[in-house]
């Protein structure tokens, strides 16, 4: 049976929707409304960005995609926020229209904590292990280096422990994540310090005490092994006369 009068309206509406005519008409009406509001003073004259240090300003400008004089209500804060949050340096972002003429963008950027050496490449990482960039600035080249598969995910805990022992931290050249279980520290004098899987803070405290009392890090050693809780075992460099061994009680007191 042919479409009746009411059915013709329904059929016609379906055709209009499927062909995009309605969407285009609504868009045209919306743009006209934005232009009318812009004529009343609601135009973009300022874009205020706070919190940007590392995020590329050219990339931000491309995402925001606004010119002075654009209708401010044509700008979509939610869509822009979603795109900016995909940038590696951005932890979070707040965007709002500040009527009548300002777009505000507040960035919270990720903090670099280390360089992650993986597959022969150095990358800047944050406390969550997120890769921020592989293009290093001069200041970033001084960050501590962590090496190995998944070392980026474990770096924050190690570095936090080292902060408690600044004398030890100042001597560390790099840290290697071994067997997805524990760390080896390479010191600037090429000595290796083997840390245990657990109680890293206690092990570093024992090492700091041994350094204070016996200058252990200044001896002719190649390896200091802290994996046993009741002793510090060391290996001399090739050609040294004998093996040096330090023992400590479980409470942490060294008895050389």
User: Of 10, 72, 60, 85, which Cα lies nearest the Cα of 35?
Assistant: 72
For residue 48, give the CATH number of its domain.
3.10.20.310
53 and 146 in a single domain? The answer is: no
56 and 164 in a single domain? The answer is: no
pLDDT-derived band of residue 12, with 50, 70 and 90 as boundaries?
A: low
Asked if the model's pLDDT at residue 111 lies above 70, the reply is yes
Distance between alpha carbon 7 and the CA centroid of its chain, in Å?
59
Distance between alpha carbon 39 and the CA centroid of its chain, in Å?
43
Task: Note the pTM of the prediction, 2 decimals.
Answer: 0.76
Residue 200 lies in a domain: yes
Average pLDDT of the segment spanning 37-53: 85
116 and 192 in a single domain? The answer is: yes
Residue 16 lies in a domain: no
What percent of the chain shows pLDDT beyond 90? 72
Residue 228 lies in a domain: yes
Residue 43 lies in a domain: yes
Beta bridge partners of 47: 103
Among the candidates 79, 109, 139, a domain finishes at: 109
215 and 94 in a single domain? The answer is: no
Q: Is 88 helix (H, G, I), strand (E, B) or coil?
A: coil
62 and 120 in a single domain? The answer is: no
For the ranges 13-22, 24-33, 40-49, 53-62, the lowest mean pLDDT is seen at 13-22
104 and 122 in a single domain? The answer is: no
Q: What pLDDT score was predicted for residue 194?
A: 98
For the stretch 46-103, pLDDT in tens is 999 999 999 999 999 999 999 999 999 999 999 999 999 999 999 999 999 999 999 9
246 and 162 in a single domain? The answer is: yes
Give the domain extent around 163: 112-255
Q: What pLDDT score was predicted for residue 30?
A: 65
Among the candidates 80, 109, 138, a domain finishes at: 109
**Pairwise CA distance, residues 203 & 207, whole Å:** 6
221 and 165 in a single domain? The answer is: yes
Residue 17 lies in a domain: no
Asked if the model's pLDDT at residue 147 lies above 60, the reply is yes
Residue 6 lies in a domain: no
Query: Tokens in use for 104?
Result: 């505000």
Q: How many domains does the chain divide into?
A: 2
Report which listed range, 11-15, 27-31, 54-58, is most confident: 54-58
Average pLDDT of the segment spanning 203-228: 95
Average pLDDT of the segment spanning 107-123: 96
70 and 125 in a single domain? The answer is: no
Residue 212 lies in a domain: yes
29 and 118 in a single domain? The answer is: no
**Which of left, alpha, beta for 7 (phi over 0: left; psi -120 to 50: alpha)?**
alpha
Residue 10 lies in a domain: no
124 and 33 in a single domain? The answer is: no
86 and 120 in a single domain? The answer is: no
For residue 153, give the CATH number of its domain.
3.40.50.11690
Among the candidates 65, 93, 109, a domain finishes at: 109
Mean per-residue pLDDT of the chain = 85
């Amino acid at each position: 049976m042919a479409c009746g009068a009411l059915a013709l309206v329904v059929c016609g509406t379906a055709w209009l929707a499927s062909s995009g005519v309605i969407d285009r008409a609504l868009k045209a009406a919306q743009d006209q409304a934005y232009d009318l509001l812009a004529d009343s003073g609601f135009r973009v004259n300022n874009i205020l960005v706070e919190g940007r240090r590392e995020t590329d300003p050219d990339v931000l400008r491309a995402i925001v995609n606004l010119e002075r004089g654009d209708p401010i209500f044509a700008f979509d804060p939610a869509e822009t926020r979603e795109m900016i949050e995909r940038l590696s340096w951005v932890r979070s972002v707040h965007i709002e229209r500040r009527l009548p003429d300002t777009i505000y963008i507040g960035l919270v950027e990720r903090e670099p904590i280390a360089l992650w050496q993986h597959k022969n490449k150095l990358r800047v990482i944050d406390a969550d292990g997120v890769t921020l960039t592989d293009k290093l600035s001069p200041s970033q080249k001084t960050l501590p280096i962590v090496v190995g598969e998944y070392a980026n995910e474990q770096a924050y805990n190690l570095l936090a422990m080292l902060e408690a022992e600044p004398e030890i931290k100042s001597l560390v050249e790099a840290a290697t994540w071994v067997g997805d279980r524990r760390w080896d520290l390479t010191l600037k004098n090429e000595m290796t310090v083997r840390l245990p899987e657990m109680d890293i803070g206690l092990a570093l405290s024992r090492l700091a005490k041994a350094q204070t009392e016996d200058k252990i890090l200044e001896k002719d050693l190649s390896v200091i092994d802290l994996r046993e809780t009741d002793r510090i075992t060391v290996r001399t460099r090739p050609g040294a006369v004998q093996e040096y061994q330090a023992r400590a009680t479980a409470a942490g007191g060294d008895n050389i």
